[in-house]
A and B are shown apart, each in its own frame.
Chain A
C-alpha cells in the first residue's frame, strides 16, 4: 500500500530550467573553485577539486544532461553528492542553487519518454511547485556506478 510521502528537495537552476535533487543525496554545497582538468576522462567530467584534503571528481551537470556548455558565474555552485551512504562523493556544477522545497509524490508526474532519449533515465518525473515545473533528477543514475 503506497503511502503518500513528502520529500525534501533542493531546487537548482540550469540555464532557464529548474531541477530538483532530493536532499538525502546532498553532502555539501560549495562555491565554484579551481577545477583541475583530468585528461582522457569522460567528456562530462570537468576534473577534480581539493575539498579539505580530499580529492573529489566534479561533473558538469549540463554536460551530463546534454545541455548547452557551462558558463560559470558568481552564482555557480558545486553540489557534492553521494548516491549512496557508502559511496564516494562526486561534485556537480550548477548555475544557481535556490531553496529547499517540499514535494509530495502526488505532485510528481512520471512521464514516458521515448526509449531513445538518453535523458529519460536521469529524470524521475516532473514536479509541480507553485507555478513552476521542476525536473526531479534521478541521482544514482546520474552519477553512475563506481567502476
Chain B
C-alpha cells in the first residue's frame, strides 16, 4: 500500500501527538495520580502507534507500543508513576521526535538506536507488574472502573454512590471524547443556613459559570423545594479540575464543605456510548430524549443539550503558507492600485462628481477590511512556539541542578506566521541564559532570602502596534559594574565615555558580538555568541530588544515586535526635499515649536513639552540631507517607544496615507533607521523610517 501521500499528514499529526505527550508527561511528573492526564497520554501513544504502523515505520511502532504498554498498566492502576519512569519516557519521546524529524527530511526513520530505552521500559514494566498489583486498592483514585464505592473511598463523597442513568453516561462519554472533565461533587451547606433552596440555586449558578451540570441529586426541583438535608451531589462537565470547582463553590457563603473528584466510565461503556453518539450524529433515532426533560431542570439555569455540543477543538483548515503569501501580495497590490487611483483622480478633480469620491472612500474601507482579515489569517498564537519551553526548563532544571519554574502568560497573543517561525530560537536562548546565568543555585538563593525555586517568567502581550514579549527571571541580575569593567578592558569604551553612559547604555553593550561577562563558558551559554545573534534575529523581524536588570533581584529582557508587516498607516513628511514615511503606530502628536524653545542639555537638544522634557532629533542631519536654512518655527513629530518619547524634526507634513511596505533588498547596507520603502501613488519611491533606534 502506497502511503507516501499521507506522509505530510502523518508528520503533522505525529508532531501534535508528541507535543501533547510532552505536555502531559510534564503534568504527570508533578501530579503522578492525575488519571485524566494518564488517559490522555495513553490515547496519544495509542494513536501514534496506529499511525506509525499504518505508515510502515516499524521502529516507531515498536517504541510507542512499549510505551503504550507501560501506560496501560498505569491506567489500570497496576503500576505507579515513578520519576525514573518519567525520565525514560522523556528519552523515548526525544527518540520519537528524532524519528519524525528524519522522516520529514528523507522519508525514513533513520538509524537511531532505541534499544536501551526499550530495555528500560521492559524492565520498568516487569518490576511494576510484579510489585504493585496489591497496592492499587489502597490508592484513593481508581481509574477506568465502574463507579462503585471503593473500600477506602471518602464516605463524604456521596456522589460516588449515585446511580448514573443511561443518558447521563452518554453525556459523560461525549464529554470524555471531547477531552472535557467530568467531575462529581458533594456539597455540604452550613446547618444554620436558612434559605436552603436559594443557597442551592446560588451554588449551582456558580458551578454553571465553569461548566455544565448534568446531574443533581436530589433533583433540581427537590433542591428548590428544600427537600434535602444539608448536602447534595452534582455531576459537572467542565474544563476545570475538581480542585478548581471546590474552590469556586467554597467561595459561596454558607458552604461548609465540598468534596469532588473525577468520574469515569469503563472502557467498554465508553466505547458503547461513543458508538451510540456516532449513530445519533448520523441521524438514527435515539429513544432517550424524552427522559431528559425533568431530570435536568436546574432552576433557571441553562438546559443541557443532548445533541453533540460544540467541539472544543478549533474548527480549522490547514493552509499552505505559500497560498497565504500570494493572498497577502495581492492585497498589497490592491492597495497600491487604490492609491494610484486616488492620485490620478486628483488631476481631474473638478470634473468628477462627488459620488466618485464616495465610491473611493467605500473602496478604501473595503480594502482596509480585506487587509485586516488577511493579516488575521496569517496570525498564529505564540503558543505554538512556547509550548516546548516548559519541557526545556524541566530538562535544564535537572541538568543544572537548580530548581526552577517557568510561568508563561499570554500564550494566545498572536504574531504573523513568518515572525513565529523566527522567534523561537531567540526566546529559547534567552530562557537558557536566565536558567544558566540568571538564576542562582538553590543554596545561594536561600542565603539571599529568596525561595530555593527560581522563577522564570515569559509574558506576551500587545502594546499598541507591537507585540511585547518579556523574559524575566528573579535571579542574580546583571552586574553593571562588571559590564563597565569589561567594556573598558576590551577597549569598547574609554573611561570617560563610561562615566557618561547610562545603565541602559551598558546593558545594550551585552548585545555586542563576543561580549560576555561570564567567567566560564558552559555548554549552554556563556560563549558570548548568543545575545548578539538574538538581537540580529529580532531586528531582522523589524523589532528590538533591551535588557533591564537590578543587581540581586533579577533581569528582564524586553522584546518588541511589530504586529503588522506589510501594510501600515503612515504620516508622509518632507525632510529637506525628500519624501519620507513615518509609521503612524508610534506617533503621539505633531507640534509646532519655536526654534528658540529648543535647549541644550549635556550637549543634546531637548524640548520642554507641556512639562515633559523630551529629546529632539534633527532627522535631516541623521539622514545626511542637505542642510536647509535656519527656520524660526519647527515642525516636531512626537513619537513614543514604550514609556519614552522623542521629538523628530521634519520640514513639512504631507498627510496621512496607507502604504505598502516593500523591502529595499539586501544589497544596500541595512541601516536600522530605514525599515523599507513604499511606492507612492505617483510611482515615486519614498523611504520608510523606523525612528525607534533614535529614541
- Choice from A41, A47, A49 contacting B669 with Cβ under 8 Å: A41
In the bound complex, do residue B687 and residue A143 qualify as a contact, i.e. CB atoms below 8 Å apart?
no
Contact B623 A39 (CB under 8 A): yes
CA distance A56 to B687 in the complex (A): 13
Residues on B with C-beta less than 8 A from A116 are: none
Q: Nearest A residue to B689 by beta-carbon distance?
A: A39
- The docked-state distance in angstroms from the alpha carbon of A36 to that of B676 is 12
Which residue of chain B has the shortest Cβ distance to A42 in the bound complex?
B669
- When the two chains form their complex, are residues B683 and A57 in contact, meaning their CB atoms are under 8 A apart? no
* Residue from A53, A55, A59, A144 within 8 A of B664 (CB atoms): A55
Given contacts A53-B333, A53-B679, A55-B679, is CB(A36)–CB(B687) below 8 Å?
yes
Task: Indicate if the CB atoms of A38 and B668 lie closer than 8 Å.
Answer: yes
Q: Are B666 and A38 in contact (CB under 8 A)?
A: no
- CB of A98 closer than 8 Å to a CB of B: no
In the bound complex, residues from chain A placing their C-beta under 8 Å from that of B336 are 53
Residues 23 to 54 of chain A near chain B (Cβ within 8 Å): 34, 36-42, 45, 47-50, 53-54
Contacts of B679 in A (CB 8 A): 50, 53, 55
State whether B666 touches A88 (Cβ < 8 A): yes
- A117: B residues at CB distance < 8 A: none
Judging by beta carbons under 8 Å apart, are A146 and B668 in contact? no
Cβ 8 A contact of B667, one of A39, A40, A54, A144:
A144
Pick the residue among B663, B671, B685 that contacts A36 (CB under 8 A).
B685
Given A36-B686, A39-B624, A50-B685, are A55 and B674 neighbors across the interface (CB < 8 Å)? no
Evaluate contact between A40 and B684: CB separation under 8 angstroms.
no
B665 in the interface (beta carbon within 8 A): yes
Within the assembled complex, what's the spacing in Å between the Cα atoms of A55 and B666? 11
Question: In the complex the two chains form, is A41's CB within 8 Å of B625's CB?
Answer: no
**Among residues 99 to 147 in chain A, which have CB atoms less than 8 Å away from a CB atom of chain B?**
143-144, 146-147
* B173 beta carbon closer than 8 Å to chain A: no
A91 CB, nearest partner CB in chain B, Å: 10
Q: How far is the CA of A147 from the CA of B540 in the complex (A)?
A: 12
Is the pair A41, B668 in contact by a Cβ cutoff of 8 Å? Answer: yes
- In chain B, positions 635-681 with a C-beta closer than 8 Å to chain A are 662-671, 673-674, 677, 679
Residue of A nearest to B683 (CB): A50
Other-chain contact of B671, A39, A90, A146 (Cβ < 8 Å): A39
CB-CB < 8 A to B624: which residues of A? 39-40
Q: Say yes or no for B578: interface residue by CB 8 A criterion.
A: yes
CA distance A48 to B687 in the complex (A): 9
Nearest Cβ in chain B — how far from A47, in angstroms?
Answer: 8
For B663, list chain A residues within 8 Å (CB): 55
B625-A147 in contact (CB<8A): no
Q: Check B669 against A39 for contact (C-beta < 8 Å).
A: no
- Which of A37, A38, A54 has the most chain B CB atoms closer than 10 A to its own CB? A38
Contact B333 A38 (CB under 8 A): no
Q: Are A147 and B666 in contact (CB under 8 A)?
A: yes
* Contact residues, B49-107 vs A (CB, 8 A): none
Which residues on the B side are within 8 Å of A56 (C-beta)? Answer: 665
Give the residue of B622, B623, B665 whose beta carbon is less than 8 angstroms from that of A55: B665
Across-interface contacts of B671 in A (CB, < 8 A): 39-41
Question: A59 to chain B: which residues have CB within 8 Å?
Answer: 667
A48 touches B625 (CB 8 A): no
The residue in chain A whose Cβ has the minimal distance to the Cβ of B676 is A55
List of B residues within 8 angstroms of A143 by Cβ: 667
B674 touches A40 (CB 8 A): yes
Assess the A90–B677 pair: CB atoms within 8 A.
no
- The listed residue with most B CB atoms (<10 A of its CB), out of A45, A49, A55, A90, is A55
B660: nearest residue on chain A (CB-CB)?
A53
CA distance A37 to B626 in the complex (A): 12
B561 to chain A, nearest CB (A): 22
Residue from the list A39, A42, A49, A54 in contact with B674, Cβ < 8 A = A39
B669 to chain A: which residues have CB within 8 Å?
A: 40-42, 45, 147
Which of A37, A38, A50 is close to B684, meaning CB atoms less than 8 Å apart? A50
| B683 x A48 contact (CB < 8 A) | no
Flag if B677 contacts A55 (CB, 8 Å). Answer: yes
Chain B residues, CB < 8 A from A90? 665, 667
Q: How far is the CA of A26 from the CA of B674 in the complex (A)?
A: 28
Chain B min CB distance to A87 (Å): 9
A147 lies within 8 A of B685 (CB): no
Q: What CA separation (Å) do A147 and B624 show in the bound complex?
A: 23
User: Which residues from chain A contact B665 at a C-beta distance below 8 Å?
Assistant: 55-57, 88, 90, 146
Q: Which of B158-181 contact A (CB under 8 A)?
A: none
Cβ–Cβ < 8 Å partners of B623 in chain A? 39-40
Report how far A39 CA is from B669 CA in the complex, Å.
10
Whether A48 pairs with B668 at a CB distance below 8 angstroms is yes
Residues of A within 8 A of B625 (CB): 39
What residue in chain A is nearest B686 (Cβ atoms)? A36
Question: Does A55 contact B685, Cβ atoms closer than 8 Å?
Answer: yes
Question: Which residues of chain B are within 8 angstroms of A57 by Cβ–Cβ distance?
Answer: 664-665, 667-668
Chain A residues whose C-beta falls within 8 Å of the C-beta of B673 in the assembled complex? 39-40
Give the distance in Å from the alpha carbon of A56 to the alpha carbon of B665 in the complex. Answer: 7
Given contacts A48-B677, A55-B677, contact A34 B667 (CB under 8 A): no
B667 touches A38 (CB 8 A): no
A53 to B663, CA, bound (A): 12
Query: A146 contacts which of B666, B684, B687 (Cβ < 8 Å)?
Result: B666
Q: Chain A's nearest CB lies how many Å from the CB of B680? A: 9
Please give me the residue from chain B that is nearest to A33 by CB atom: B683
- Enumerate chain A residues within 8 angstroms of B683, measured Cβ to Cβ: 50
CA distance A41 to B683 in the complex (A): 22
Output the residue of B668, B671, B679 with the most chain A CB within 10 A. B668
**Complex: how many Å from CA A117 to CA B589?**
53
Q: Given A48-B685, A50-B684, A50-B685, do A37 and B578 touch, yes or no (CB 8 Å)?
A: yes
Q: Which residues of A contact B686 (CB under 8 A)?
A: 36
Q: How far is the CA of A41 from the CA of B666 in the complex (A)?
A: 11
Contacts of A144 in B (CB 8 A): 667
User: Bound complex: CA of A88 vs CA of B665, how far in Å?
Assistant: 7
Q: Which of B596-655 contact A (CB under 8 A)?
A: 622-625
With a cutoff of 8 Å between Cβ atoms, the chain A residues found around residue B684 in the complex are: 34, 36, 50
CB nearest to A49 among chain B residues: B685
Distance between B507 CB and nearest chain A CB, rounded to angstroms:
25
Contact (Cβ within 8 A) B687 A38: yes
Residues in chain B near residue A41, CB distance under 8 A: 668-669, 671
Query: From residue B335, how far is it (CB to closest CB) to chain A in Å?
Result: 12
> Given that A39-B674, A55-B677, A55-B679 are known contacts, is A45 also in contact with B668, CB under 8 Å in the complex?
yes
Please determine whether A38 and B662 come into contact, CB atoms closer than 8 angstroms. Answer: no
Contact across chains for B667 and A88 when beta carbons are under 8 A apart: yes
Question: Is A55 touching B667 in the complex (CB atoms < 8 A)?
Answer: no
Whole-angstrom distance between the Cβ of B333 and the nearest chain A Cβ? 7
Choice from B664, B667, B674 contacting A147 with Cβ under 8 Å: B667
Bound Cα distance from A42 to B668, whole angstroms: 7
B565 to chain A, nearest CB (A): 15
7 residue pairs from A and B, CB less than 8 Å apart = A34-B684, A36-B677, A38-B687, A55-B663, A57-B664, A88-B665, A90-B667
* A residues with CB within 8 A of B: 34, 36-42, 45, 47-50, 53-57, 59, 88, 90, 143-144, 146-147
Supply 4 further A-B pairs (C-beta < 8 A) apart from A48-B677, A50-B685.
Answer: A37-B578, A39-B625, A40-B669, A55-B663
- The 4 A-B pairs of least Cβ separation, nearest first, read A39-B623, A146-B666, A36-B685, A40-B671
